[in-house]
Amino acid sequence: MSPPDLSIENELWTRGKIPAGVDEVGRGPLAGPVVAACVILPKDCVINGLNDSKKLSEGRRKKILIDIRRYAVCLAVGIVEPEDIDRINILRAALLAMEKSVNNLSDKPNYLLIDGNQKTSLLMPQETVIKGDSKCGSIAAASVLAKVMRDYIMEKYHVMYPAYNFKKHKGYPTKEHLEAIAEYGPCPIHRRSFRGVL
C-alpha cells in the first residue's frame, strides 16, 4: 500500500476548507491516558517518511515529528486521564481526547478528517476515514504526534512507578506487565475498569 498523502486534504483546501487530521492512541493499554492529536498541514505539504505511527520505529517517529512541527499550520494534543477513562469508558474518552485536541488548536479548522468510524460531538463538518492514518497525511501526522506524546508520558510514569517497566510496554497488556500487576497490584495510573487490572 502506498504511504498516506494529502489528496483528500488538497481537495478540501481547493474548496476553501481548512482540514485537520485527528487521531488517537492508547485505547488498548491497561495504564496511562488516551492521547489524541490534531494537525493542520498546508496544501501540497510533503513530509518524507510520513506514515501511520504503528508502521514507524520509535526513532523514525521522533525524526518525522520534527518535520511535522516545522511544516504544520498548527497542531495540538488532547489528553484524557485513566480516572476519566474508568468513569466514561474508553470509546467516549478517545472521542473526548480528540475533541480536546481540536479545541486546543491555536488556528481553528473548519473540516475534520477523523481516523476510524466515530465522529466527535464538535459542531463542524467532519468525515471519518477508516484506516485514515494509512491514507491521509494529516491523520498520519496526528497519529505520530499522539504516539510520541503518549510514549513520553509513559516514560515519565516509569520514573514514578519503575516496578511496572512502563518505558518498555507503555502500559499495554504484555506478559511482563500482567505479571507486575499480579505481584504489586495496580498503581494510580492503572485503568481499574479494564480486565486484567483488578
Starting at the edge strand found earlier in the chain, the sheet holding 19-25 runs 74-80, 34-40, 19-25, 111-115, 126-129
Of 170, 130, 127, 131, the residue nearest 150 (C-alpha): 170
Residues of the domain holding 164: 7-184
pLDDT, tens digit (0-9, with 9 covering 90-100), for 136-194 = 999 999 999 999 999 999 999 999 999 999 999 999 999 999 999 999 999 999 999 99
pLDDT of residue 1: 64
pLDDT, tens digit (0-9, with 9 covering 90-100), for 12-33 = 999 999 999 999 999 999 999 9
pLDDT of residue 2: 81
Cβ neighbors of 103 (< 8 A, separation 6 or more) are 78, 122
pLDDT of residue 75: 98
Q: Which pTM value belongs to this model?
A: 0.97
Q: Tell me how many degrees the CA angle 122-27-168 measures, rounded to the nearest 5.
A: 135
Residue 192 lies in a domain: no
How high is the mean pLDDT of the chain?
97
Residue 195 lies in a domain: no
Residue 161 lies in a domain: yes
pLDDT of residue 72: 98
Residue 11: alpha-carbon gap to chain centroid: 24
Count how many domains the chain has: 1
pLDDT of residue 188: 98
CATH for 71: 3.30.420.10
Alpha-carbon gap, residue 78 to 96, rounded angstroms: 8
Residue 191 lies in a domain: no
Radius of gyration from C-alpha coordinates of the chain? 17
pLDDT of residue 198: 86
Residue 198 lies in a domain: no
Residue 196 lies in a domain: no
Residue 13 lies in a domain: yes
Contact 151, 165 (CB under 8 A): no
Q: Give residue 66's pLDDT band: very low, low, confident or very high (50, 70, 90).
A: very high
Both ends of the chain: CA-CA distance in Å?
A: 41
Residue 134 lies in a domain: yes
